[in-house]
Structures are given as C-alpha cells and as structure tokens.
C-alpha cells in the first residue's frame, strides 16, 4: 500500500511538473491578452522537433539552450505579424487565428520531418538511473525535468515580482489600458510576453520530446489539458498554475491506481445495484478507466462554481 | 472591421432572398445529382455530406452569429442526436413501427434533450467562460463515450441498417440518391425553420443579447433565458444533422462528438460568413469539397486548407458571403479596378507558385520518399533532390512577398477603399 | 444574385474536378492509418502491399490485367473508414485491404456486407491482413471477408502452450487496449490459462484507452505493486512502445508476453532489458528459417532504412494466395475469386497454409519467439534478434468456429 502510494505520488509530481512547464507560458499569454492560444501546444511540439534536429547537429546541451530561443523568436513573429493584425477583428478572430495556426504548424512539421515519430531517444548523458525507490528505478531525465520546472517557476516568480519589466508586465496583466496611458509601450510588452511564453513552451518541448513520442500529433495529445491547468489555476497567477498542474497530475495518477468504482462502494454499503442495468453500467466505471475524464470534470466544475480559478486575480 | 460593423452589414444581405430565388434553389437541388459529372455515387455522397454539414453549420450559427455564443463543443449535440438516431434505426431494424425517413426526428429529439440539460448548466455565463465550458463539456462527452459501451458502442461505435424496416413509405433508402433526397428535404425544412426563428421576437432578442446584453437586461429581458432558448434550438438542429449523418453512414462512433468535428463546424461557419444567414451554408460546401477533393491531388492538402483558413481570418473576416456581397460592385467593369486587380495578381501568383513548389517538394521528400525525387509540380517536371528548384522557388516567393505590399500601396488611390 | 451565381460557378468547378476516373486495371483499395499515432505501422504495411502488387504486375498481372493500389487514410477511425470505403468503391476498387484496428475491421466488414446486398453485380471483397478480433471469423463472419492473420484466440493458444511449460510463471498481469480486440485478448488469456495452468493467479486485468495514454508509469506502478512476474498484452503501435518504455524506465522485471513485441520501435525502446524477457507470438520472425532471406533482401533493397524493416510476411502469403485464386478462377471478378480462395491450400517457405472454407480464416504456422543477443539477424540495428521458442504447425492452430455465413448463389 505504502509502495503504490509513494510511487504514485512521485509519478504524479513528475507529470504535474511537466504540465506546469507547458502551461506556465500559456498562463502568461492568456492572462495578458485574453487570447486562448491554441498554438501553444504546437510550439511545445516545435521545441521537441527543433531540439531533435539541433541535437543531431550540435548535441543535446546546446540544443537545450538554442531550441527554446528559436521558439521564442517564432512566438514573437506570430504576435507581431499575425495576432496584432487580427486583434482589431475581435477576440473570436484571434482564437480562430491561433486555431488555424496550430493546424498549419502541425502540417509544416509533417512536411519537414515526415509523419512517423522521429527517433528522439533520451540523450546518453542523462540516460541513467538516479535512485531506486521500492524496487522501481527513477530515471535521471525525469530528475532533470523536475529541476528545470522548479527553476522555471522560481525565475518567473522573481522576474515578475522584483524586476521593473516584471512589474510593468504584472500591471499590464490587470490594467493594460492604464499602463498604456502611463506611457509604456504595451504592444512591445505583448510581444515580449508572447515570446517568453513560447520560449517556455519550447523548453518544455525539449524534455517532453523524449519523454513522450516526438511525432506530429504530439500537440493534440497535450493541448486540451493545458487549458484545463490554466483555467483551474486562475488567470494571472503563476502559483495557481503550479498548484493546478500538481493537483491534476497527482489526481490523474492516483485515479489510475484505484480499481474500484461507485458500484463497488454502493455494494459494499449494502445498496444492491445490478451491474447489468443501465445505472449499473454508469456507476460501474472503475476510477482507473475514468482517469482521463478527471481533468475535464474539474474544468467544468471550476468554471461553473468559481470562474476565477483557484488563485486568479481577475475574471476570465 | 469590428464585429458590430460586420453584423450590421448582415441585415442588408437578407434582402437578396425572394420567392423566385427560393423556387430556383429548390429546383437546382433536385436536379443536381443528375447532372453529368455529378451522377456518380461518389459525387452524390459528397453532395449529401455537404447537405448534412450545411444543416450543422446553420445550427452552429444560431448560437454564434445570432446570439454571440462561441462554442467549442457543438459537436456534442450533433453526436448525441446521431446516437439517438442510430439507436432508433436499430429499434426499427428489430421491428419498431417507424418509417426510416422520420429517423432524423429522433436525432432532433436527442439533440434537444441534451441541449435542455446542458444548456441549463452552461448558459449562465457568456463570452470566454462559455467557450471554455463548452470545450470542457465536449472533452468530457468524448471521453465518456469510451466508458459507456452500451449506449456509445466504445471504439466500434453503433451501427444499424437503413434498409431493414417494417414500412418505408415507398422510399427504400437503398441508394445514395435516395439518401441525398432525404437529406435535401430535411435540410430545407431545417433551414426554413431556422430562418423563421431569426424573425421571431425571441430570435430578435438573441441579436439584442449578442450586441448589448446590459441594455437587453435593462429593457427587462433575462439574458440567461434568451441564451438558453437559443442554445436549445441550436442543439435541436444539430441533433437533426446528427440524425441525417446516422442515416447516411449507418454507423455513429465517438468521433461524431469529438473536438475535431466541433472545430470543423466552427471553421465552416466562420469562413462562410457568420453575419449572414446563408454564410455557413457556403462555408460548409467549400470546406467539405476542399477536404474531400483536394486530398486526391496533393498530400499537402491539409496545409493548404490551414493556410486558406488563416488568410481568410486575416484578410476577409466577414467570410465568403461577405466577400461576395461586398464585391458585387466588382462585377461592373471599372478601369481602375481591373488594373489594380491585374497588377496585384502578379506578385500573388509568384508567392503562390514559389510556396506550392517548396511545399510539394517538402512533402514528397519527407512523406513519400519511396516514390523518388522526380516529380511534376504545377505542370513542370523537376527533381526535388537538386538545389535549383528550391533556389528558384525561394526567389520567386521572396520577390512576390516584397513586391505585393508595394504594388497594393501604390495602386490604392481612392479614399475609403480598403484592400 | 451574385451569391447564387458564384455558387453556381463554384459547383461548376466542382463538377469539372469530380469527373470520375475509369480504367481497365484491377483496383485495390488500402484503407489504414497513414497519419497519427499508428502511422508507422500503416505506412510500412502500405509499402509492403505495394511491393507484392508490383511483383504480381511484373509477373504478367492478374489474368493479364494490371493491379493498382489506391491508398486511403482512415486514422484508425471506423467512421472515417466508411467514408473512405465509399470513396474507394466509387473510384472503382473491387478489393479492400485493411488491418490496423479491429474496430475498423468490424465496421468495414459490416459495410461491405450491406453494399454487396444492395448492389448485386458490383460486389467487393475484403482482405483483412492484421485485424484479429475473433468475432470476424465467428459471430460476425461474412462470405466477403478473408482473414490472413491468426486471430487473437489462436495466438493466445500458442502463447499459453509455451507458458504452460514454463514453471517460473506464477502471477500474471493482463493489460490491454479498451476495445473489442483488447477485451478478446484478456478473455482468451483468462480462459486458456484457466484450462492449461489453473495454478497461475491472474493478479490484474487492466484496460486502458486506445492510442491515448502518453505515460504508462502509473500502470507500471500497479504491475509492480501486484508483484506480477509475467505481463500479457495485446498492445500495438504507440501503446506497445510506450508501455515497454515505461517498464524499462522503472526497471520492471517481468516476462513480456506480447502479440506485437516486434512492432516498429518496440525493440529499440526496450533495448538490453528485453533480452530473455520480451516474447512475441507471430507468423514469422527474421531468424525463423533461412528460406526467408531472399524475400527480405528484395524488400530491403527497394525500401532501405531502419523504419522500413520488413514486418509483414503474411502480406506475401496473402498476395500469392490472391494471385493463385484468380488463376484458379480464370477471372478477376471478386465473386469468382472469393469462391476460388475458399479452401485454397498453398506451400510457403515456412510451411503449408490453408484458407478455411467454413469461416475464411487462414491457417498458417505460428512462432513464439524471445529476444536474444547474438542472433544471425538483429532487429532495428540494436544487436538483438528473435529466437524461436516454439513453432506451431498451421493445421494445429485451428480452433472451433461459430460462423454461419450466407453464401451467394
């Protein structure tokens, strides 16, 4: 019992930190510009592919630095020449633009690297076991990912709260018009935030690329869950995003471990519901099978009950 | 052009429809599958798909264009209607006395039931929150579809036969032509009803709630109730489209309610033009045709579709319908207009040609490498392995991209004439 | 006014483009995933089928007519498959080839049955090379479907025969994809282990969503917690690769009894950790017999590269039987070819094969093999290859059937 709880907790924390890496950038972008950026997961995928390609040319560690920078540059270009042009047409047009962009990026990736998953193995320098817990080994690359994720959180937190540009960004998160009236170049701040957000997604992609399979459908695999994290965590709150990703990561991992269903609980309590009936079918779903549904249930509940999210500073 | 301006424009569009136009349209629809070239089963099934997509897109626009509610999960009602219809078909296969042609009504009922239940929960809020809730609900239903195999059939879906029933009112539904006519009949009924809904007091209040919810509340209407009614109506017609889908394919699986279908209907409605009643229909026809036929010409068809979509968003947000209506003036010859169009088309062609060559070569090398590197692009034979085609295509693209803004700037002299 | 004229213009353009293609060749439609999570297996299969069709054409074609392969991407989706099926039939295809995903196979089999009932004279025949849900040759069998791969029960019978002789196996964990095939594997495992080794405990029976799980570590943790020494799984494509990868990352020490341990990417993912532990049941493997060398070399010459490693021996069997049936029937008409295919026997390099007439299931030799170092041929450039543990003769793989098919007059 203790074994499965500890191992599940560890796995949940790892998964949660991966989600945080992915969604930290989107929290910034969504909070700042109110844009539901559907292309965020695509930039994650681009980061994975770029690090694969650069890794083959110059090795893993330089790629770890260069790939996110490239993604940041691409993000800045998207904002400057795409989103800015679409902005006057309204929120819906912005959302649809990022939607179309996600589609196009997936196809461009297919055009360049093919439809199959590319062989993006764990780099030899981090392919060893960090420690052994209850007989299960813990690979070093997961440890690296955790370290990067925590570092990301700390750096962003410090940068937003202690530096001047961070304070301007924070103000623009809640009062963009006032900040503009005070003379700051808010459009340039937008570009900067989008670039940083995209760069973070790219960095997450470098690690995510060999944790998951690097293939053109990678963006689809992680896309919806990132939105859940951002909304549940709340707008404008980095800490909220961290808490939400950990919550979702741990909940989902634990859910997989539970082989019982509502029906088992009811039957144990003496309430006799037959498994063959329609009600029995619904209640008979094991929590392990229902695990993929948990984040979306959380999303809908949060939006209906508390649209601000857990730690949000403003309404959606 | 702001959203309000686009919408105001829409009012003018409605005046184009009159009785003569209606009769002509119905006649055209009846004759269409017999035109040589469209008489094959494949073309007829494509037309049927267009009809189903048109009803679905129109139902989406009741929510979006009419009431201002952006939904990322509209396919849920399409799918639930489809499942309700396929179960009805199954019941008919086992002897239930309902004519197969009335099955879409079961679909509409299924969609309506879901719309009533989910609408009560989700229409309290509008805007981005509503959009996100719809996204969450969509993902929930899609995931649930695999967990309840009795109703949803799991990965295999639910299938039935459209020809096995106790009485068929003389329409056996054995051929694609029969199905096409059933879809056209139901499609016209649905379109007429939705058009009529627009002119009812509730329909007008939907417009008011979209434009200025605060003022609508001031006047005394409950925005939640108006949105709820619009939601239920949209869900009902989406369910009807789902029922037609079930009859056409005789199988309904989880992807009928998936995120991809929700995204597709959104794209159709937006590209067609959400401020005009007929806009979504045009969008549905265009997208269905592009997705189906373009794929036989090039492996890069999805990329072209995506780029087309982005270009429409950037430069023609009022959609195809808006473009057509706005450029009515273009059909009258005017010297300046033709000259402008001609001079702008050269850089555009260079951009298009350069991009197409690069894209086709890229796809050939990365996805169809076993076909070799010699290929024909735009009627020119070339070898993708050599450097020359890449260099020339890049130059053409760059020249076109640099020249286009200059050409447009220098030739736009008349004030108020936006590109 | 202009809306309607523009629509008319658009439709005119559409008409021009829709003008159908006609040809005298025998058209064969390949409907399988060419994009998405299962693309690697679908694309490799497409190349394999193309290779053998070209071989038939080079030898003079089918009764003098050339074969043409048309490919359609179905993304492992039953609904999309039916759309593509309609399209294929309208473009003139008379033979349908599919294999990835039993959910798709069931949908296609049903749709082909309906089409043939409603369109006498325009029948199509469905050649199934990989979808192994037993229902397709039992309760849901149809005259128009022919299966060229051993079904899940037949493979489980071979696998459990080997397990029965292995005293080390005591606690078995079942993990499968949550759909008809995965459930069939789990059910067969329970039934057959119960018959052959009642002392073995089944410590887990897991069903996970198909092609949706990114990270199998929670499942691996459960396998560990159950103290299983053997895992039986029917997972394929990404699900197989990711499961093995998670197992290796966590240092899971079990015997992997798989259907698709040889699927592209799996051996690379497991590496050294798979030696003596990764097992598969299949109709061939590279070290099964030296007679394979010629065929594999010819394929690798045409399609070089690690991602094109030869995988579908049964495709060769299928196309050779197809050609033999057409020759026997002296016709390329699907109904006549189907009648000739029933009951056809053919010698192959690995043994004799027979297409059962009662349920259209092919009987062919099956191998249970284990990953090993220093074999003559290795897999995916890893230095590790397959070693035969047991070979089951074609006839011995036959199982009773509940099929009652309606035959055309």
- Please check whether residue C178 touches A, CB under 8 A: yes
Instruction: Tell me: pLDDT of A47 over 90.
Output: yes
Q: Which structural domain range is residue B372 located in? A: 327-412
Q: How many angstroms separate the CA atoms of B136 and B134, rounded?
A: 5
Helices (H), B200-278: 201-211, 213-219, 223-249, 259-272
pLDDT band at B411 (very low <50, low <70, confident <90, very high): low
According to the model, what pLDDT value does residue A314 have? 64
Residue A62 has pLDDT above 60, yes or no: yes
Predicted pLDDT of residue B328: 67
Instruction: Return residues 146-205 of B near A (CB < 8 Å).
Output: 147-150
pLDDT confidence of residue B332: 58
As a whole number, mean pLDDT of residues B364-389 equals 77
CB contact under 8 A, C18 and B46: yes
B11 in a structural domain: no
Does any CB of chain A come closer than 8 Å to the CB of residue C401?
A: no
Question: Which member of B24, B253, B293 has the closest CB to residue C18?
Answer: B293
Tokens of A42: 């695509």
CATH code of the domain covering residue B82: 1.10.3470
With cut-offs at 50, 70 and 90, classify the pLDDT of residue B334.
low
% of chain A at pLDDT higher than 70? 97
- Which of B127-141, B385-399, B402-416, C186-200: highest mean pLDDT? C186-200
The count of structural domains within chain A is 1
CA distance B310 to chain A (A): 6
Per the prediction, chain B carries an average pLDDT of 85
The model's confidence at residue B329, banded by pLDDT at 50, 70 and 90, is low
Among the partner-chain residues B16, B38, B175, the one whose CB lies closest to the CB of C18 is B38
What pLDDT, on the 0 to 100 scale, is given for residue B12?
A: 44
Ramachandran assignment for C60, one of left (phi > 0), alpha (psi -120 to 50 degrees), beta (any other): left
What pLDDT does residue B168 have? 67
- B4 located within any domain: no
User: Same domain, yes or no, for B58 and B163?
Assistant: yes
pLDDT tens for chain C, 409 residues long, are: 444 544 444 444 444 444 444 445 899 999 998 876 677 788 899 999 999 999 999 998 899 899 999 999 888 888 889 888 988 998 889 999 999 989 899 999 999 999 999 888 899 999 999 999 999 999 999 999 999 999 999 999 999 999 999 889 999 999 999 888 999 999 999 999 999 999 999 999 998 888 878 788 889 988 988 999 999 999 988 889 889 988 988 889 999 999 999 888 888 888 888 889 999 999 998 888 888 888 889 999 888 887 788 889 999 999 999 999 999 999 999 999 999 999 999 999 899 999 999 999 999 999 999 999 988 888 888 889 999 999 999 898 999 999 999 888 7
pLDDT 10s digits, B254-266: 989 998 899 899 9
Distance from CA of B116 to the nearest CA of A (A): 17
Q: Check if the beta carbon of residue B311 is closer than 8 Å to that of residue B371.
A: no
The CA radius of gyration of chain B, in Å to the nearest whole number, is: 24
Asked if A71 and A202 touch (Cβ cutoff 8 Å), the reply is yes
φ/ψ of C332, rounded to 5, equals -105, 10
Determine which of A8-12, A119-123, B386-390 has the lowest per-residue pLDDT on average: A119-123
Q: What is the pLDDT of residue C16?
A: 43
CB nearest to B157's CB, from C3, C19, C79:
C79
Is residue B76 included in any domain, yes or no?
A: yes
In a domain? residue A170: yes
Q: Which of C289, C310, C315 is nearest to C55 (CA)?
A: C315
Q: In terms of domains, do B296 and B344 share one? A: no
Do the domain assignments include residue A143?
yes
A11 touches chain C (CB under 8 A): yes
Determine the distance in angstroms separating the CA of A1 from the nearest CA of chain B, rounded to an integer: 27
Cα separation values, A284 from A261, A292, B200, Å = 5, 16, 46
pLDDT of res. A136: 75
CB contacts, 8 Å: C14 with chain B: 289, 293
Of C34, C225, C251, the CB nearest to A3: C225
Q: How far is B237 from chain C (nearest CA, A)?
A: 21
In chain A, which residue's Cα lies nearest the Cα of B141?
A: A293
pLDDT for res A204: 92
Of B317, B347, B373, the last residue of a domain is B317
SS3 content of chain B, % helix, strand, coil (to 5): 75, 5, 20
Q: Are residues B253 and B343 in the same domain?
A: no
Chain A positions touching B310 (Cβ under 8 A) are 82, 97, 100-101, 104
Shared-domain flag, residues B260 and B401: no
Instruction: Tell which residue, B273, B326, B319, B322, has the closest CA to residue B65.
Output: B273
Residues B312 and B336 grouped into a single domain: no
Residue A48 maps to a domain: yes
Contacts of residue B250 in chain C, CB cutoff 8 Å?
Answer: 82, 111, 114
Residue B412: per-residue pLDDT: 61
pLDDT of C110 reads 93
pTM: 0.87
Chains that touch B (3 or more CB pairs under 8 A): A, C
Q: C6-150+293-363, superfamily in CATH?
A: Response regulator (3.40.50.2300)
Identify all chain C residues contacting B292, using CB atoms and an 8 Å cutoff.
87
Rounded to the nearest 10°, the torsion over CA C186, C191, C195, C196 is -20
CA distance A189 to A28: 12
- Per-residue DSSP letter, A76: H
- Smallest Cβ–Cβ distance between C110 and the set B159, B175, B278 belongs to B159
Residues B299 and B371 in one domain: no
The reported pLDDT for the residue numbered B336 is 66
Same domain flag for B343 and B230: no
Distance (Å, rounded) from C-alpha A166 to C-alpha A171?
Answer: 9
Q: Which of B53, B28, B32 is nearest to B285 (CA)?
A: B53
A225 is a domain residue: no
pLDDT value, residue B370: 64
Instruction: Supply the pLDDT for residue C15.
Output: 46
**Is B317 near chain A, with CB under 8 Å?**
yes
Same domain, B136 and B175: yes
Do the beta carbons of residue A90 and residue B2 sit within 8 Å? yes
Contact (CB<8Å) B135/A224: yes
For the record, the structure tokens of C387 come out as: 């070693």
A43 near A74, Cβ under 8 Å? yes
> Same topology for domains C6-150+293-363 and C153-282+366-397, yes or no?
yes
Residues of chain C in contact with residue B278, where contact means CB-CB under 8 angstroms, are 3
Residues B79 and B217 placed together within one structural domain of the fold: yes
Domain residue spans of chain C: 6-150+293-363, 153-282+366-397
For residue A103, give its domain range.
Answer: 2-220
**ipTM score:** 0.84
Q: Do residue B247 and residue B389 come from a single domain? A: no
CA distance C344 to C353: 8
**Residue corresponding to tokens 């209607």:** B81
Q: Are B243 and B336 found together in one domain?
A: no
Same domain, B27 and B135: yes
The separation between CA C272 and the C-alpha centre of its own chain, rounded to angstroms, equals: 27
Instruction: Give how many domains chain B has, as a whole number.
Output: 2
pLDDT of residue C10: 46
A226: its two tokens: 């990132």
Domain stops at, among B295, B317, B339 = B317
In this complex, the residue of A115, A222, A257 whose CB is nearest that of residue C218 is A257
Find the mean pLDDT for residues A228-232: 88
CATH class given for the domain over C153-282+366-397: alpha beta
- Per the CB < 8 Å rule, is A289 touching C249? no
Decide if B156 and C210 are in contact by the 8 Å CB cutoff.
Answer: no
C366 within 8 A of C399, measured Cβ to Cβ: no
Of B288, B317, B346, at which residue does a domain stop? B317
B145, two tokens: 């579809």
pLDDT greater than 80 at residue A313: no
Residue B9 lies in a domain: no
């Amino acid at each position: 019992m203790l074994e499965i709880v500890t191992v599940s907790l560890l796995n949940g924390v790892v998964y949660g930190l991966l989600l945080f890496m992915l969604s930290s950038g989107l929290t910034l972008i969504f909070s700042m510009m109110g844009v539901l950026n559907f292309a965020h997961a695509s930039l994650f995928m681009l980061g994975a592919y770029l690090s694969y390609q650069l890794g083959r040319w110059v090795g893993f560690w330089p790629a770890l630095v260069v790939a996110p920078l490239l993604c940041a540059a691409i993000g800045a270009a998207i904002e400057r020449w795409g989103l800015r042009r679409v902005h006057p047409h309204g929120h819906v047009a912005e959302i649809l633009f990022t939607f179309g962009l996600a589609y196009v990026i997936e196809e461009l990736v297919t055009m360049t690297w093919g439809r199959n998953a590319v062989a993006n193995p764990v780099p030899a320098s981090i392919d060893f076991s960090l420690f052994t817990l209850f007989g299960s080994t813990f690979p070093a690359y997961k440890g690296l990912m955790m370290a990067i994720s925590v570092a990301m959180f700390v750096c962003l937190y410090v940068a937003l709260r202690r530096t001047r540009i961070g304070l301007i960004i924070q103000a623009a998160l809640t009062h963009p018009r006032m900040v503009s009236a005070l003379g700051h170049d808010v459009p340039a701040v937008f570009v900067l935030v989008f670039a940083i957000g995209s760069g973070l997604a790219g960095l997450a992609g470098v690690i995510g690329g060999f944790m998951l399979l690097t293939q053109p459908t990678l963006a689809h695999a992680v896309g919806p869950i990132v939105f859940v994290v951002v909304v549940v965590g709340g707008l404008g709150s980095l800490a909220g995003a961290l808490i939400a990703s950990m919550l979702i990561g741990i909940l989902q991992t634990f859910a997989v471990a539970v082989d019982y269903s509502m029906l088992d609980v009811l039957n144990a309590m003496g309430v006799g519901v037959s498994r063959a009936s329609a009600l029995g079918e619904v209640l008979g779903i094991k929590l392990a099978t229902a695990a993929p549904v948990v984040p979306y249930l959380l999303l809908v509940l949060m939006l209906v009950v508390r649209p601000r999210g857990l730690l949000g500073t403003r309404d959606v | 052009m702001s959203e309000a301006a686009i919408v105001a424009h829409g009012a003018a569009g409605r005046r184009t429809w009159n009785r003569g136009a209606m009769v002509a349209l119905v006649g055209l629809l009846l004759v269409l599958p017999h035109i040589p070239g469209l008489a094959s089963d494949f073309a007829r099934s494509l037309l049927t798909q267009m009809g189903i997509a048109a009803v679905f897109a129109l139902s989406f626009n009741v929510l979006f264009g009419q009431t201002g509610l952006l939904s990322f999960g509209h396919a849920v009602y399409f799918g639930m209607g489809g499942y309700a219809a396929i179960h009805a078909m199954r019941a008919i296969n086992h002897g239930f006395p309902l004519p197969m042609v009335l099955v879409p009504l079961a679909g509409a009922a299924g969609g309506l039931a879901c719309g009533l239940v989910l609408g009560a929960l989700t229409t309290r809020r509008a805007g981005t929150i509503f959009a996100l809730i719809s996204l969450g609900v969509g993902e929930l239903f899609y995931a649930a579809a695999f967990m309840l195999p009795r109703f949803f059939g799991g990965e295999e879906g639910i299938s039935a036969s459209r020809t096995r029933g106790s009485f068929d009112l003389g329409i056996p539904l054995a051929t694609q032509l029969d199905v096409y006519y059933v879809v056209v009949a139901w499609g016209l009924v649905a379109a007429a009803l939705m058009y009529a809904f627009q002119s009812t007091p509730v329909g007008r209040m939907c417009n008011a709630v979209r434009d200025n919810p605060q003022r609508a509340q001031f006047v005394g209407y409950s925005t939640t109730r108006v949105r709820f009614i619009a939601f239920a109506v949209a869900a009902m017609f989406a369910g009807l489209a789902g029922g037609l889908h079930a009859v056409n394919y005789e199988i309904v699986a989880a992807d009928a309610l998936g995120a991809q279908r929700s995204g597709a209907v959104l794209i159709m409605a937006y590209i067609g033009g959400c401020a005009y009643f007929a806009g979504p229909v045009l969008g549905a026809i265009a997208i269905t045709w592009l997705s189906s036929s373009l794929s036989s010409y090039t492996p890069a068809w999805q990329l072209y579709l995506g780029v087309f979509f982005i270009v429409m968003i950037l430069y023609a947000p009022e959609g195809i319908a808006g473009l057509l209506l706005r450029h009515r003036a273009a059909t009258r010859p005017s010297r300046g207009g033709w000259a402008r169009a001609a001079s702008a088309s050269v850089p555009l062609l260079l951009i298009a040609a350069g991009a197409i060559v690069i894209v086709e070569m890229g796809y050939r090398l990365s996805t169809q490498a076993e076909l070799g590197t010699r290929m024909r692009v735009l009627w020119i034979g070339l070898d993708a392995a050599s450097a020359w085609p890449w260099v020339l295509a890049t130059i053409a693209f760059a020249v076109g991209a640099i020249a286009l803004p200059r050409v447009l700037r220098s030739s736009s002299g008349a004030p108020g004439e936006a590109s | 006014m202009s809306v309607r004229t523009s629509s008319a213009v658009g439709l005119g353009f559409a008409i021009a483009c829709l003008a159908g293609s006609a040809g005298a060749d025998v058209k064969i439609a390949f409907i399988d995933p060419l994009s998405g999570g299962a693309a690697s297996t679908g694309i490799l299969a497409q190349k394999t089928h193309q290779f053998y069709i070209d071989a038939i054409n080079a030898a003079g074609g089918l009764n003098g007519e050339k074969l043409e392969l048309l490919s359609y991407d179905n993304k492992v989706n039953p609904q999309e498959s039916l759309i593509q099926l309609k399209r294929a039939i309208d473009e003139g295809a008379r033979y349908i080839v599919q294999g990835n995903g039993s959910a798709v196979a069931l949908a296609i089999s049903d749709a082909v049955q309906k089409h043939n009932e409603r369109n006498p004279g325009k029948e199509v025949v469905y050649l199934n090379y990989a979808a192994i849900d037993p229902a397709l040759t039992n309760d849901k069998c149809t005259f128009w479907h022919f299966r060229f791969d051993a079904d899940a029960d037949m493979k489980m019978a071979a696998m459990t025969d080997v397990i029965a002789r292995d005293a080390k196996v005591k606690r078995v964990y079942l993990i499968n994809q949550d759909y008809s095939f995965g459930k069939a594997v789990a059910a067969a495992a329970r039934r057959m282990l119960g018959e052959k080794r009642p002392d073995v405990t089944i410590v887990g029976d897991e069903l996970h969503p198909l092609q949706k799980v990114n990270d199998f570590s929670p499942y691996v943790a459960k396998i560990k917690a159950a103290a299983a020494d053997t895992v039986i799984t029917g997972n394929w494509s990404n699900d197989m690769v990711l499961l093995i990868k998670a197992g290796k990352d966590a240092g899971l020490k079990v015997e992997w009894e798989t259907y698709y341990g040889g699927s592209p990417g799996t051996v690379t993912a497991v590496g050294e950790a798979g030696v003596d532990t990764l097992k598969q049941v299949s109709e061939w493997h590279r070290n099964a017999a030296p007679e394979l060398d010629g065929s594999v070399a010819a394929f690798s010459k045409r399609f070089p590269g690690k991602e094109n490693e030869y995988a579908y021996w049964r495709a060769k069997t299928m196309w050779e039987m197809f050609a033999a049936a057409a020759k026997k029937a002296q016709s390329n008409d699907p109904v006549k070819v189907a009648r000739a295919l029933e009951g056809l026997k053919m010698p192959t390099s690995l043994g004799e094969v027979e297409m059962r007439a009662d349920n259209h299931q092919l009987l062919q030799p099956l191998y249970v093999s284990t990953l090993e170092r220093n074999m003559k041929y290795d897999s995916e450039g890893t230095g590790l290859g397959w070693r035969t543990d047991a070979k089951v003769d074609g006839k011995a793989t036959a199982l009773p059937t509940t099929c009652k098919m309606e035959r055309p007059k």
